[in-house]
Amino acid sequence: MFKYKLEKYIPIEKVEDFYILEDTNCKKYLLYTKGNINYCLDIKENGYIPKSGLMFAEIIEKNIKDKNVLDLGTGQLGILAIHSRMYGANNVDAVDIDDECIIWLNKIVTDNCIEKVNVLKSDFFDNLDCKKKYDVILSNPPQMPMISGKMHDSGGVDGRKYINLILKKADNF
């Protein structure tokens, strides 16, 4: 019989309905449960657990149904992409530049039989079809003001490097 430790996960005030599930082998999962929407995502060993990106959850739940969505910098768990799909987005393109993120997110999408989430490798908009248009573009880009550091955190000297890039090019998509 399996025993799990279940911990309510509130990395930021007002983020609800997320839990960290840990099995007896210390394997962790991010569990979401609200009403009839439930999913459990396998967290890669030493992988990132979303924090600020979870603040998007409530907005996604209310505004994503029947939309075509682009998630830029989706990360290992693709939480914005998966949450969008679970709340009724038509199609979701989940984009990241990091090969490990792409591989892990493809595993999650496959293991959980999540349809209509396309995992693509791209440096933000660079490898995307410029003829394809989206109803919604989501991103939780690196925004920490630092010149060097982990790729997932460093947003340049003022933290706006990627935010400015997204704002400049988003209109084309």
* Bigger pLDDT: 83 vs 164: 83
- Across the beta sheet with 37-42, the strand order is 4-8, 18-23, 28-34, 37-42
Q: Which pLDDT belongs to residue 146?
A: 65
Which range, 9-13, 14-18, 115-119, 137-141, has the best average confidence (pLDDT)?
Answer: 115-119
Tell me the mean pLDDT in the region 87-99: 96
Q: Under the phi-then-psi rule, with left for phi > 0, alpha for psi from -120 to 50, and beta for the rest, what region is 156?
A: left
Q: Under the phi-then-psi rule, with left for phi > 0, alpha for psi from -120 to 50, and beta for the rest, what region is 159?
A: left
Check residue 62 and report its DSSP letter: H
**CA neighbours within 13 Å on the CB side: how many for 57?**
20
Q: Which pLDDT belongs to residue 110?
A: 96
Residue keyed to tokens 């989940």: 94
Q: pLDDT of 95-141, one tens digit each?
A: 999 999 999 999 999 999 999 999 999 999 999 998 999 999 999 87
Round to whole Å and give the CA distance between 62 and 100: 31
Q: pLDDT of 20-59, one tens digit each?
A: 999 988 899 999 999 999 999 999 998 888 888 888 888 8
Q: Which domains does the chain have, with CATH numbers?
A: 49-140 (3.40.50.150)
Q: Which pLDDT belongs to residue 46?
A: 87
Check residue 88 and report its DSSP letter: T
Q: What is the pTM of this model?
A: 0.88
- The sign one gets for the Cα dihedral 167, 168, 171, 173 is negative
